[in-house]
Chains A and B, each alone.
Chain A
Amino acid sequence: MGDPVNGGLEAVVKVRRPEGFEVDVELSVPPRRTIALLGPNGAGKSTVVGALAGLVSLDGGRISLGGRILDDAKTGVHLNAADRRVGIVFQDLLLFPHLTVVENVAFGLREQGHPKGEALQGAEEWLERVGLGGFGRRRPGELSGGEAQRVALARALAPAPELLLLDEPLSALDVGSRARIRRLLASHLSEFPGPRILITHDPAEAFQLADEIHILEAGRVTQVGSAEDVRLRPRTAYAADLAGVNLFMGTAAEGRVETADGGILTIADPRVEGPVRVSVPPESVSLHRIAPEGSARNRWATVVQGVEDDGIRARVLTGAPLPLTVHVTHAAAQELELAPGAEVWVSVKASEMRVEPS
């Protein structure tokens, strides 16, 4: 069905947003590779989807897919959405409510000129591939969230697109079915021969499904790397927050880092000089009721700002001079009488901090 896919996506997307910022994103995705565009709401993720799909026109840049030019702001080339062969699983799925499930999946095949019977048969096969054989005659409204999600995937894949876009594919699902559908999605993604782009604000989704993660903030890509990179070496406050890591920007000199907010951290390697990023994993931080002794070289007194305790583990936010997120057990939180306003001592082992030039 369709042509063999052998080309990647090369895109420079520049779109001015009415909110006043410009989305300026460069993406290079080879076939059989999944990248995640991970970013907070309003970062411009939907704009990138729209531009790649041909629903939003570029103010600058160029998009090519498998050697075909889809958009070129310089020459004014703009291929209509209908002619791009870009398959999309939309955030709200957008299954056509007036068509049955199998007619939804057959929609793209019909548009490619396949006769009705052939298109419906192809659609049935796709439904079986996503585990929904026998669901064809239902209406979209009669499906569960997970079933509808799989129909949307089958509909996007049936016309053999050359690029697959998944726009927040799991956001419409309840938490219970999310993990199951995520696994299913992973297996279907691995079978799709073209480049794949996953748009999400959920780090778990990105970490599990993508080979490479692009962090998008305010229209710009602020970090590109593997899930491992983002988790261990976040480059921005947003990425650090996603990874659950404390991140400080500062200047290193003589084995000490002075952070932007005026805090001082002692670091393990005295040779590091100049602007650095220091990440502090929550597990490397200890809390104490009285000034601790021992080898920890970073310690200071502060006041607890907040505690989220789920009965097993507690997440504690500490205050100035260096605000941190700290993980302790529920028992420890009880013993330390942690509550907003409580006075505690914080200690951080320099050896467990990660220091990188920025």
Chain B
Amino acid sequence: MSAVGSSPSEPSRPSPRPGARPPLAWAVLGAGGATLFVLPLVGLLLRTPWSRLPDLLTSAVVVDALRLSVVASLSATVLSALLGIPLAWLLARAEFPGKRLLRGIVTLPLVLPPVVGGAVLLFALGRRGWVGAPLAEATGLVLPFSLGGVVLATTFVSMPFLVITVEGALRNLDRRYEEAASTLGAGPWSVIRRVTLPMVSSSLLSGLILTWARAFGEFGATVTFAGNLQGRTQTLPLAVFVALESDRDTAVAISLLMVAIALGVLLLLKDHWWGTR
């Protein structure tokens, strides 16, 4: 049986259909792209000191960094949801002056080097920053070089993923469903809770996964704003960076750990993310 490619008019469904046979050059390019991602991973596995792995992974540096990474990435995701979903709603629905500019500013961290993001945060919220100084004076709260600083820097770079995903979904949502809900007695808060958010739930989930993934891998803004203190602000990416200079085996072990966690989460949630089998 020969595959003659798939008919474009036929919707993709899990039927036993022979796979498309691509043009050769096309396949070679695609395989090249795949190699770029697979090769380093193979290199990592070959380089892994398997026998020492348990010891390396239970060292204080790694355990501290793992704990901080998990806490910081989840906190940043929760904080992004709490602030980012209402922000996305405002950008999609409300009319106010400067909205376009605000949307640009919100998405800035997507293109800005994270180090610049961290520096900007430091200028504003650092111990001598124009917000940080009065804040420290009034409450004693000093964000830089603290776990709070890690969460803030991480949220700064990862929340835009949630905002743009959810805003797009809200724009595409047929608002008449919300009107229908209001004629059934639902007030504005009830409409958001019972209709708006459930109807964009798949985008919401994608946005949250992207946000978490970005937060988990965050390096530049964190190291600039929160520093690199083991047990306080040193997350896994920072620990890898330090270990590369001093202890290669630890660096490899942490890299493997991060690959395992990230790949595990992405595979677990891929049905929701890509809608694939």
Contacts and interface: CB of A to CB of B under 8 A. Distances in A.
Interface of A: 53-55, 80-88, 90, 92, 94, 96-99, 107-108, 110-112, 155-156, 159
Given A82-B185, A98-B199, A111-B185, A55 B179 contact: yes
Contacts of B123: none
Contacts of A99: 198
Given A88-B180, A90-B176, A90-B180, A97 B199 contact: yes
Nearest to A105: B184
Contacts of B187: 80, 82, 111
B186 interface: yes
Interface residues of B, number: 18
Contacts of B176: 90, 92, 94
Contacts of B180: 88, 90, 94, 96
- 6 A-B pairs closest in CB distance: A111-B185, A108-B184, A81-B182, A94-B180, A98-B198, A82-B182
Interface string B58-80: 00000000000000000000000
A81 B179 contact: yes
B184 A159 contact: yes
Contacts of A82: 182-187, 190
A55 B184 contact: no
A175 to B, nearest CB: 25
B194 interface: yes
Nearest to B180: A94
15 contacts: A55-B179, A81-B179, A82-B182, A82-B184, A84-B183, A86-B183, A88-B183, A96-B180, A96-B199, A98-B198, A98-B199, A98-B201, A99-B198, A108-B184, A111-B184
Contacts of A98: 198-199, 201
Prevailing SS type, chain B contact patch = helix
Contacts of A55: 179, 182-183
B195 interface: yes
Contact of A96 (B179, B182, B195): B195
A47 to B, nearest CB: 14
Contacts of A83: 185
A69 B198 CA distance: 34
Between B179, B190, B198, the greatest number of chain A beta carbons within 10 A of the residue's beta carbon is seen for B179
A85 B184 CA distance: 8
Contacts of A94: 174, 176-177, 180
Contacts of A107: 181, 184, 186, 194
A87 B185 contact: no
Nearest to A88: B183
B184 A155 contact: yes
A208 B183 CA distance: 27
Nearest to A107: B184
Contacts of A86: 183
Nearest to A83: B185
Between A98, A108, A156, the greatest number of chain B beta carbons within 10 A of the residue's beta carbon is seen for A98
Nearest to B199: A98
B121 to A, nearest CB: 38
Contact of A81 (B174, B183, B195, B199): B183
A85 B198 CA distance: 24
Contacts of B177: 94, 96
A92 B174 CA distance: 11
Nearest to B187: A82
Nearest to A53: B183
B65 to A, nearest CB: 40
Nearest to A99: B198
